[in-house]
Amino acid sequence: MFGLFEPMKNIICKAGPKSRKIAKKDDAIITKASVPRERPTVLEKGKGVYLWDKDNVKYLDFSSLIAVSSVGHGNPDIYKAIKEQAAKITHVAGNDFYHENMPILAEMIANSMPIKGKKRVFFSNSGTESVECAMKLARYYTKRTGYLAMNNCFHGRTFGSVSMTNSKMIIRAGFEPFLPVVAHTEFPYCYRCPFGETDSNSCGRKCLDYIERVTFKKEIAPKNIAALFVEPIQGEGGYIPAPDWYFKELKKICSKHGILFVADEVQSGMGRTGKMWAMEHYNTEPDIICSAKALGGGMPLGATVFKEKYDVWEAGSHSNTFGGNAVCTASSIAALNFIKKKNLVRNAEKVGKHILSRMKEIQEKSKTLGDVRGKGLMIGLEFVKDKKTKAPNPKFRLNLMNACLNDKLLLLGGGKSVIRIAPPLVITKEEADKGIDIIEKNLKELE
Ligand SMILES: Cc1ncc(COP(=O)(O)O)c(C=O)c1O
């Protein structure tokens, strides 16, 4: 039976005939393993914060297509950089030969990061590869075999990263066994504190104490842990920020036990949270930072950045074919320059604050919007059946997302019943208001 605030009928996404035809063709050949596409929308082109589908329907994008298109869709600076580079050469096997984009970009990224002193950079093609690199580097440097990760984390789906990822069982079930020495500890998901605390500081404190008191005593000996992997704001898990003081304390625990601190900024980096790198909010210096998604300006690019002292591995010990691809690095350089030129980090902070405060107002009047949280343009809305019991309401979340899509607003799901708001960083306050109005209207109608 339907719960108290669940609508009686599922809201079905309306897509046009051209979209439906392509979606049908795709469903017949593309593996089912990819995320279930609940909406048959076929995207064709984009401009700024807007997207058009195959039937020429225009959408406002509140997702950046999984936090990638931060500089906006169809960005002319990116197009120019890609076109000019492609006319010269597309691929240079950057691990066998040199290409000037690689050191230029590496320097730009490294200089923007909250890691002091000299750094080294490894380029790859995706988030999961940037995590794999960090896992191998940490093991090579420390000569330890274990890893510590957080419950509800997402670090990718290749065997190393998926050994840590546990945001959803569907990502793990059937793929076991994983890397043998991976332990998980509690992340301060303060809305649903694993220790039942209602205050975020107490939640953070309990999670932190648990590491030394239980994780290191019962799960894994700290002397066996090469690195701790943590998302500064949990991403796929549902846009969950930790208390402001938390990472500084977490880093102290790592330093005490010789554990490298790896910040997975694949989703939170590149200005999304109102700082270039989310770790800057926490005044905490990671040993290694992983980046991808928005890094390539819409092209596939990953980077792992670390203190030079960890660069002890031998030449040829870790490498790849496409890392530092000429076109992807050209696009990334253009993206970084665009972010600076348009002051997008500041815009993310400003517009993000506006969205957060409007959503909090809406939350007060809503029966189902249990939590509103986030930093910059990385905002999570968590839907519940009842604000007291906090029972997750994934069906309501999906219906709301579909209803908004029918009203031409594209949203991103996350966690069990969270909507992630992650628009391109070029979004204006007026455009943000347009999207919030659509959420507010549909929320009221569905409740
Ligand atoms: C924090 C984080 N790390 C790693 C990944 C994996 O990135 P990719 O899908 O590019 O492999 C993701 C993807 O969502 C992510 O959010």
> Which ligand 1 atom is the nearest neighbour of the CA of 235?
16
366 CA → ligand 1 middle, Å = 32
pLDDT score for 9: 63
Q: What is the CATH number of the domain that holds 33?
A: 3.90.1150.10
- Collapse the DSSP code of 382 into the 3-class scheme (helix H, G, I; strand E, B; otherwise coil) and give the result: strand
State which of 171, 266, 320 you would mutate to test the pocket of ligand 1, scoring each by most atoms of that ligand within 8 A of its C-beta. Answer: 266
134 CA → ligand 1 middle, Å = 13
Handedness of CA 66, 250, 375, 265 (dihedral sign): negative
- Domain match, 354 and 432 both: yes
Q: How far apart are CA 163 and CA 152, in angstroms?
A: 13
154 CA → ligand 1 middle, Å = 7
- Domain match, 59 and 92 both: no
- End position of a domain, from candidates 321, 341, 361: 341
Tell me the pairing of strands 225-230 and 260-264.
parallel
The total number of structural domains in the chain stands at: 2
For residue 248, give both structure tokens: 């500084």
pLDDT score for 154: 98
pLDDT score for 422: 98
Residues contacting ligand 1 via CB (< 6 Å): 126-128, 131, 154-156, 231, 235-236, 264, 266-267, 292
Q: How far apart are CA 392 and CA 419, in angstroms?
A: 12
- Domain match, 127 and 255 both: yes
245 CA → ligand 1 middle, Å = 25
- Domain match, 200 and 322 both: yes
- Domain match, 44 and 112 both: no
290 CA → ligand 1 middle, Å = 10
> Which ligand 1 atom is the nearest neighbour of the CA of 236?
16
Q: Which residues contact 142 (CB under 8 A, 6 or more apart)?
A: 226, 227, 258, 259, 260
> Which ligand 1 atom is the nearest neighbour of the CA of 264?
1
* DSSP secondary structure of 414-434: ETTTEEEE---TT--HHHHHH
pLDDT score for 39: 77
Q: How far apart are CA 361 and CA 65, in angstroms?
A: 26
Residue 12 located in a structural domain = no
- Domain match, 64 and 101 both: no
155 CA → ligand 1 middle, Å = 5
State which of 34, 126, 154 you would mutate to test the pocket of ligand 1, scoring each by most atoms of that ligand within 8 A of its C-beta. Answer: 154
Burial 125-159 (b: 16+ CB within 10 A, else e): bbbbbbbbbbbbbbbbbbebebbbbbebbbbbebe
3 CA → ligand 1 middle, Å = 33
pLDDT score for 13: 78
Q: How far apart are CA 223 and CA 261, in angstroms?
A: 14
Q: How far apart are CA 264 and CA 261, in angstroms?
A: 10
Contact present, 298 and 262 (Cβ < 8 Å): no
- Domain match, 175 and 267 both: yes
Q: How far apart are the first and last CA of the chain?
A: 17
Question: What are the CA-CA distances from residue 442 to residues 60, 100, 362, 371, 438 (Å)?
Answer: 15, 50, 12, 17, 6
Q: How far apart are CA 409 and CA 403, in angstroms?
A: 9
Question: 360, 368, 367, 374: which is closest to 423 by C-alpha?
Answer: 374
Residue 3 located in a structural domain = no
330 CA → ligand 1 middle, Å = 22
127 CA → ligand 1 middle, Å = 4
3-state per-residue secondary structure call for 1-59: CCCCCCCCCCCCCCCCHHHHHHHHHHHCCCCCCCCCCCCCCCEEEEEECEEEECCCCEE
> Which ligand 1 atom is the nearest neighbour of the CA of 267?
16
Residue 5 located in a structural domain = no
pLDDT score for 5: 46
Q: What is the CATH number of the domain that holds 200?
A: 3.40.640.10
Neighbours of 378 (CB within 10 A): 24
- Domain match, 47 and 95 both: no
Question: What are the CA-CA distances from residue 278 to residues 13, 119, 228, 236, 333 (Å)?
Answer: 34, 18, 17, 16, 20
Residue 8 located in a structural domain = no
421 CA → ligand 1 middle, Å = 17
Q: How far apart are CA 359 and CA 432, in angstroms?
A: 11
At 104, the amino acid letter reads I
> Which ligand 1 atom is the nearest neighbour of the CA of 290?
3
- Domain match, 68 and 128 both: no
> Which ligand 1 atom is the nearest neighbour of the CA of 158?
11
State which of 35, 231, 288, 293 you would mutate to test the pocket of ligand 1, scoring each by most atoms of that ligand within 8 A of its C-beta. Answer: 293
By alpha-carbon position, which residue is closest to atom 16 of ligand 1? Answer: 267
pLDDT tens sequence for the chain (447 residues): 333 444 446 877 788 899 889 988 988 888 888 766 777 889 999 999 999 999 999 999 999 999 999 999 999 999 999 999 999 999 999 888 999 999 999 999 999 999 999 999 999 999 999 999 999 999 999 999 999 999 999 999 999 999 999 999 999 999 999 999 999 999 999 999 999 999 999 999 999 999 999 999 999 999 999 999 999 999 999 999 999 999 999 999 999 999 999 999 999 999 999 999 999 999 999 999 999 999 999 999 999 999 999 999 999 999 999 999 999 999 999 999 999 999 999 999 999 999 999 999 999 999 999 999 999 999 999 999 999 999 999 999 999 999 999 999 999 999 999 999 999 999 999 999 999 999 999 999 999
Residue 6 located in a structural domain = no
Q: How far apart are CA 41 and CA 405, in angstroms?
A: 9
- Domain match, 397 and 317 both: no
Whole domain around residue 41: which residue ranges?
Answer: 17-74+343-446
Q: How far apart are CA 95 and CA 319, in angstroms?
A: 7
